[in-house]
A and B are shown apart, each in its own frame.
Chain A
């Protein structure tokens, strides 16, 4: 079956630090990969996605590259801001499973001044 493994949090960084949140997956076929972000008191929002190997998704300074050889989709940002403090979820979907998403457990990011 499908599964997503994320690094445990919380991750605490100073403003302008470099961010990496690791994500690896197990899936049959060629899944699509997503990063969602959840700000306090809100629902999840799509941050970025990649639909095939070697694709790079990017949005708001965040990037992630679909690496099929290492089954990974690590999230990176060169310089984090306090406003990036949130919980980040890695997820995948397989076409054969409809639009059903398999989520990781989420990684909380705290950015301090």
Chain B
């Protein structure tokens, strides 16, 4: 079975540019999560969706960050304009149901803003 698929795996861009990260969740999963991982702050939940609807975006750091889920098989996380402090590994995860169901993570996008 295909797992959570993220693209690109690596992104290097200059400050001020728009960055779009993509995620395809596991088919049939109704929850989708975006995380950011850095050495300083560890793993942070940015936003999550249930049935394509954003439920909690309290972790989104600033208005420069936005996320969409236009359908059950695709989500994007956009940063515009990007800044060097946005450099991190961004993970997408999906799950089915609530409570004791595990989340399945993609391999992440390593983002470097120069």
Binding site for B on A (CB under 8 A): 32, 34, 41-46, 49, 51, 89, 93-95, 98-101, 103, 105-106
Contact = CB atoms under 8 A, between A and B. Distances in A.
From B33, B48, B97, B99, residue with most partner A Cβ within 10 Å: B99
B108 A99 contact: no
B55 to A, nearest CB: 6
Given A43-B108, A49-B102, A93-B100, A98 B55 contact: yes
Contact of A43 (B50, B55, B97, B107): B107
B45 A100 contact: yes
Given A32-B99, A95-B98, A100 B48 contact: yes
Contact of A103 (B31, B43, B48, B108): B43
A32 B100 contact: yes
Contacts of B91: 43-44
A43 to B, nearest CB: 3
A99 B101 contact: yes
A49 B50 CA distance: 22
Nearest to A30: B99
Given A100-B56, A101-B45, A106-B43, A95 B99 contact: yes
From B56, B95, B100, B106, residue with most partner A Cβ within 10 Å: B100
Contacts, number: 60
B103 interface: yes
B73 to A, nearest CB: 18
B100 A44 contact: no
A101 B97 CA distance: 13
A98 to B, nearest CB: 6
Interface in B48-77: 48, 50, 55-56
Nearest to B56: A100
B28 interface: no
B95 A99 contact: yes
Contacts of B105: 43-45
